[in-house]
Structure 1
Amino acid sequence: MDIAVEVIETSSLGDRSYLASDGQVAVVVDPQRDIDRILALAADRGVRITHVVETHLHNDYVSGGLELSRVTGAAYVVGAGDEVGFERLAVRDGDELRTGGLSLRVLETPGHTHHHVSYTLQDATTGDVRAVFTGGSMLFGSTGRTDLLGPEHTDALTHAQYHSVRRIAAELPGSAEVLPTHGFGSFCSATPTSGHASTVEQQKTGNPALTLAEQEYVDTLLAGLEAYPAYYAHMGVINTRGPAPVDLSPPRPVDPGELRRRIRQGEWVVDLRDRTAFAAGHLAGSLAFELSTNFVTYLGWLYQYGTPLTLIGESEDQVAEARRELVRIGIDDLAGAATGELAVLADGRPLRSYPVADFAALAAARKERAIHVLDTRRNDEHAQSHVTGSQHVPLHELADRLDEIPEGELWVYCGSGYRASIAASLLDREGHQVVLINDDFDHAAESGLT
């Protein structure tokens, strides 16, 4: 029988969802909040969704599983070990789900969470195992991180993760395709992943849980864990309670006078435009969060949930895209949005701006005058290499450490310019004289700065 598995990519969060079908019925695995994408795909393929399954209660996004099951009438499948605030089909190790020509067998694979499960995808007629949906367990050349439920659980979960990945490798044929949810840029991965596809057999020689002794694996994983986005703290709570239906309707329009009032009140007014456009001219007090791949991760990391949030965009389409990204992490209640020419939004008032440069320009400027340099990358990045003499304050710590930043000319860098652009806007709002280094960090060494 032909069994098709299609990927629904959410690159901004580094995650994948899946639609597996036999041509008539389908199973959806780990759906994101914006379920219209999944409904459109199912309709295009002419299949009926009968089951929506979760590998775990997610910590990096709000699930669309509950709403998708209600809209389609599908069974909503969640591991029995998780206590939730909604009706679901609770499954345990060894349970089998059948629909049309598809069969899913439940494997308990704790580690990423206490009650994480994986699902083998089999031909219901022959029993042949085609793939395994591994969620945050076995990833491509890595495993899911084990510290999201608190430090008191991390060591035990790391040992459990080791045994779960080994169970998958021991019980499934080497030809089975590995289909993880995390590991494509998601902070839910314990270490960087490798590749875009894999089989169980390939993981036997490339996955640390399968190549290292248990304690070595545990020590290596724990040593490599870095900070993860602060918004993760909200995701498990929302998913356990049961997310509200998604709302992608346009936020209400905000006029220039209201924008100024909100900025004066200390509310978040976020500019979605390109970071160099923001540097060239922006409303005083607004923040730069360019709408690109990293937008939702870093806005969610720095944003205080419940703070009024207003967007500035070049167009209604740009605002709509940002709204879609934000609902994926539970930021549903936007205070409004303003679009159009920035000069109109400024309502005759002067715009703020700051220079944009590269590492070569920094090297040249340092020969002429005293310059303070700020590194906004993570601890592991800074430890590996950094601009000599630079001050290190990771972006996610900057708002709480502004009093450590000296006055005077301040050049700000990161790995590519994205995080530095956010930091520069935060510092500009505080009145600092900033220069944004919009450049790949590799060029710092080429310029003799490291």
Structure 2
Amino acid sequence: MFFQQILRDDIGCAAYLVGSTQAGEAAVVDPRLDMVDEILDLADREGLRIRYIIETHNHADHVSGHHLLAERTGAAIAIHELARAAYPHLPLTDGDELALGEVVLRVIHTPGHRPEHIVIAVIDRSRGPDPWILLTGDSLFIGDVARPDLAIDGREGASTLYESLHQRLLSLPEGTLVYPGHVSGSLCGRVDNRMTGTTLGFERRYNPALNILDRESFIRHMTEGLPERPPNMARIVELNRGAEPPRIPEARPLSPEAVRDVIDQGGATVLDVRSPAEFAAGHIPGAVSVPLRGGQFQNRVGLVVAAEVPLILVTASDAEAEQAVQALAVIGYDRVAGYLAGGMDAWEKQGYAYVSLPVLTVRELWERMSREPSLQVLDVREESEWAAGHIAGAVHLPFYQLARDNPPIEPGRPVAVICGSGTRSAIAASLLQARGWERLFNVSGGMTAWRAAGLPVTPEPALAR
């Protein structure tokens, strides 16, 4: 048997190539749009013909590569019949088997995350009749299980997921290997470790969600404290279900004059993907900062930028523009008009207006708070982070809510924006600046630096015993 995991750690996606080297046949499970070339190269190196492209469900967090793979290989796309896929496909039902030589892929219907969700049990008949590997998609993760609120009511989804886990999966041998469709970084669960595989027995013992044996308690656990859901998730589902193949647009360089003309015409968003420090030094007025580097780029774009609006990118290089365009296509943002050729240097040389975002260190913030009573501190972290400790007198609103809500601060007073490290606060400050707020400061290093400097937080952390 051949088995290979393909990872993308930006938003924690995992796909799989599994098959028989003896038969020279393979299947791809849950391929992402930007994995297609890598998968084809891998199959070619191993002498494997791709016969099936299997989707465990209609994905909500990324655009699938099943259309492109099918076009280039002639393979059949297979998905559960409840997916209502509009493209030609092989409809799957519980218990169906796809044979690849001695390797058999058995369908286990596991609704909960979505009604059509399936797990693929991988059996190597040359070794034995039991499943060797479970490709669990978005049902069972490493240290967590899937969120139940993306397709149906959260309580209903959690109840159905409880049944799928305890009746369908946990009855299998505990030595069965588990490889999920998502690892750390995904919004489809609450995984915070960097492992990429586990066993059913280990998860049965140590996965907190699986140790909740009462159904009602499980439902409460699964419907509380979930990550914010980006508004473009429903759109991604429809792209994945639809008959139209997705596209990765070309990264087109635009002169400063052309960029200014597009901005003047209105209707486009300037998305600055450079680092927070580069953005702070100078950026186009009205630009939204979401750094490409440092993780969670796609999730954060999905939370603060509308998918229907054309984008103009500001990048640090041509290569970064190519990477940003591909990363955006993965979440269905395919309306990229182009990127600023020559970056901000070219913009400034033309004499066009630009603005900066003043930065404060945590020590500077502490000193200004003591001598400048009018200074407001806006904490844009998640609720759980805020509850674990924050600056006394600060006000709280998660960064993504600033895309739609008015902040609980006074417009005429200076505002220092803080998060965990300085990235989300740069996003938040850019959203405020784009709406006309002035006298803004981004706090570099965020609460991590604040704590490291020994500055006070409230509530006080509990003393170790």
Q: TM-score, normalised by structure 2?
A: 0.90
Q: Secondary structure at the match of 1:411?
A: strand
2:438 paired residue number: 432
Offset, 1:364:
2.1
Q: 1:433 to 1:130 in 2, by over 3 A?
A: same
For 2:381, which of 358, 377, 389 is the aligned residue? 377
Q: 1:44 to 1:249 in 2, by over 3 A?
A: farther
Offset, 1:169:
4.0
1:211 paired residue number: 211
Offset, 1:161:
0.8
Tell me the C-alpha RMSD between the 2 structures.
2.0
Offset, 1:404:
4.4
Q: 1:169 to 1:240 in 2, by over 3 A?
A: closer
Q: 1:242 to 1:61 in 2, by over 3 A?
A: farther
Q: 1:191 to 1:316 in 2, by over 3 A?
A: closer
Contact 1:144 1:182 (C-alpha < 8 Å) held by counterparts = no
Q: What is the alpha-carbon distance in structure 1 between the residues aligned to residue 190 and residue 112 of structure 2?
A: 11
Q: 1:146 to 1:190 in 2, by over 3 A?
A: farther
Q: 1:449 to 1:339 in 2, by over 3 A?
A: farther
Deviations 1:320-358 (A, max 9, x none): 100110111111121111132423223123531122233
For 1:441, which of 443, 447, 452 is the aligned residue? 447
Q: What is the alpha-carbon distance in structure 1 between the residues aligned to residue 273 and residue 448 of structure 2?
A: 26
Contact 2:19 2:100 (C-alpha < 8 Å) held by counterparts = no
Q: 1:349 to 1:333 in 2, by over 3 A?
A: closer
Q: Secondary structure at the match of 2:83?
A: coil
Range moving further from structure 2, 348-357 or 62-71: 348-357
Consecutive unaligned residues of structure 1, counting only runs of 5 or more, are: none
Contact 2:381 2:419 (C-alpha < 8 Å) held by counterparts = yes
1:348 paired residue number: 351
2:59 paired residue number: 58
Please give the residue correspondences for 1:29-40 in structure 2 after superposition, counting only pairs within 5 Å. 29-34=29-34, 35-40=36-41
Offset, 1:100:
2.3
2:8 paired residue number: 10
* Residues 1:236 and 2:242 aligned together: no
1:84 paired residue number: 85
Q: Secondary structure at the match of 2:371?
A: coil
Contact 2:52 2:78 (C-alpha < 8 Å) held by counterparts = yes
Contact 2:239 2:246 (C-alpha < 8 Å) held by counterparts = no
Q: 1:257 to 1:403 in 2, by over 3 A?
A: farther
Amino acid of the structure 2 residue aligned with 1:378: E
1:421 paired residue number: 426
Q: Secondary structure at the match of 1:185?
A: coil
Q: What is the alpha-carbon distance in structure 2 between the residues aligned to residue 115 and residue 170 of structure 1?
A: 19
Offset, 1:71:
1.6
Offset, 1:134:
0.5
Contact 1:52 1:65 (C-alpha < 8 Å) held by counterparts = yes
Please give the residue correspondences for 1:93-104 in structure 2 after superposition, counting only pairs within 5 Å. 93-104=94-105
Offset, 1:193:
5.6
Q: Secondary structure at the match of 1:324?
A: helix
Deviations 1:118-162 (A, max 9, x none): 010111344342210111111111110001124xx2212101111
Consecutive unaligned residues of structure 2, counting only runs of 5 or more, are: 459-465
Q: What is the alpha-carbon distance in structure 1 between the residues aligned to residue 77 and residue 52 of structure 2?
A: 6
1:127 paired residue number: 129
Offset, 1:176:
1.3
Q: What is the alpha-carbon distance in structure 2 between the residues aligned to residue 4 and residue 75 of structure 1?
A: 19
Amino acid of the structure 2 residue aligned with 1:365: R
Please give the residue correspondences for 1:32-431 in structure 2 after superposition, counting only pairs within 5 Å. 32-34=32-34, 35-125=36-126, 126-150=128-152, 153-190=153-190, 192=192, 195-213=195-213, 214-251=215-252, 253-264=253-264, 265=266, 267-292=268-293, 293-346=295-348, 347-370=350-373, 371-402=375-406, 404-406=408-410, 407-429=412-434, 430-431=436-437
Contact 1:360 1:443 (C-alpha < 8 Å) held by counterparts = no
Q: What is the alpha-carbon distance in structure 1 between the residues aligned to residue 4 and residue 49 of structure 2?
A: 14
Q: What is the alpha-carbon distance in structure 2 between the residues aligned to residue 359 and residue 189 of structure 1?
A: 32
Offset, 1:216:
1.5
Deviations 1:19-64 (A, max 9, x none): 1233332211111012222222222333221111111111111111
Contact 1:139 1:193 (C-alpha < 8 Å) held by counterparts = no
Deviations 1:74-107 (A, max 9, x none): 1211001221211111111111110123210110
Q: Secondary structure at the match of 1:448?
A: coil
Q: 1:358 to 1:166 in 2, by over 3 A?
A: farther
Deviations 1:371-422 (A, max 9, x none): 1111112223223322221121211110222464422221111122111111
> Which stretches of structure 1, 4 residues or longer, exceed 4 Å deviation after superposition?
190-194
